[in-house]
Amino acid sequence: MEAAVNVPDRIHVLIADDHRLFGQALEAILASDDRLEVIGHAGDGAEAVQLALNLDPDVTLMDIAMPIMDGFQATKQIRKQKPQACVLMLTGSNSRTDVDQAREAGAAGYVTKDRIAAELIDAILEVVPR
């Protein structure tokens, strides 16, 4: 991926998902809105933590089920080092346990993958402080 050119007033988004095609689909959805700019992709939880700390996105879209470190652990690590970080959890599950774990990890919100096309942009705009 080429380095994104930061445009002032855009919401900078980091995508953390181990499925490359799904990550590309997320980026395509976000590209439809001029207010959003994808600044990086992470393929596992450890990389998500590193990129979130280095790139300082406005919001990190975090898959729950990832190799090396799951999304819950990665979110806890990010929020421990950057308490103001905004993480939006993405998952195929809408189980009460996952929702509770996402909240406990410090996630600002939760979107199920079956609702992403309809709700993702609104969810990002809702959780990112402006």
In the predicted model, what is the mean pLDDT of residues 26-52? Answer: 95
Domains of the chain, first to last: 11-104 (3.40.50.2300)
Indicate whether 129 pLDDT > 80.
Answer: no
Q: How confident is the model at residue 1 (pLDDT cuts 50, 70, 90)?
A: very low
pTM to 2 decimals?
0.89
Least confident of 3-7, 52-56, 62-66, 73-77: 3-7
Which residues neighbour 121 within 8 Å (Cβ) at sequence distance 6 or greater?
A: 29, 30, 32, 33, 36
Of 70, 130, 128, 76, nearest to 107 by C-alpha is 76
The answer to whether 88 and 107 are in contact (CB under 8 A) is yes
